Amino acid sequence: MKTPLDTFSIRNTMLVAAAISALALPLVSYASSKNIPVSFEKSELNSVSGQKRVYKRLQDASRELCGSANINITGSMQRSRANQECYEGTLTAAVNRLDNSAIRALHFN
């Protein structure tokens, strides 16, 4: 048989879970929909120096999107690690989306 205390605890737990979900959902939605444009001329892909410039822009945009992995800035190893994983995944996705063998070679070597 449930006591009033058990019912109170369950209700509070459910309210807290609902409140956290309501607060977290907009943050997750914002992070996943954020987009940073990277512009370049197709002719830049014809030279090694141009390819390096385009790749650097992709790196910069990925870092801007994910945040610093420097522990002095993030304040925790967990956050630094998460930012680094975000950066690596975002940069790889950008390189794959660009679908250029020279940029892919810069990234995967």
Q: Over the stretch 19-39, which tens digit does the pLDDT of each residue have?
A: 555 554 444 444 455 778 888
Per the prediction, the chain carries an average pLDDT of: 79
- Closest C-alpha among 108, 79, 82, 94 to residue 37: 94
Query: Same structural domain for residues 27 and 61?
Result: no
Query: Same structural domain for residues 24 and 54?
Result: no
What DSSP designation does 44 have? G
Query: Same structural domain for residues 102 and 55?
Result: yes
Query: Same structural domain for residues 66 and 24?
Result: no
Query: Same structural domain for residues 49 and 91?
Result: yes
Q: pLDDT value at position 61?
A: 93
Query: Same structural domain for residues 44 and 27?
Result: no
Query: Same structural domain for residues 53 and 25?
Result: no
Q: pLDDT value at position 12?
A: 59
Put residue 2 in one of left, alpha, beta given phi > 0 → left and psi -120 to 50 → alpha: beta
Domain count, the chain: 2
Q: pLDDT value at position 55?
A: 95
Query: Same structural domain for residues 62 and 103?
Result: yes
Q: What is the pLDDT of residues 48-94, one digit of tens each?
A: 999 999 999 999 999 999 988 888 888 889 999 999 999 999 999 99
For residue 23, the enclosing domain spans 1-33
Query: Same structural domain for residues 89 and 104?
Result: yes
Query: Same structural domain for residues 54 and 92?
Result: yes
**Residue 72: alpha-carbon gap to chain centroid:** 19
- Asked if residue 8 has pLDDT above 90, the reply is no
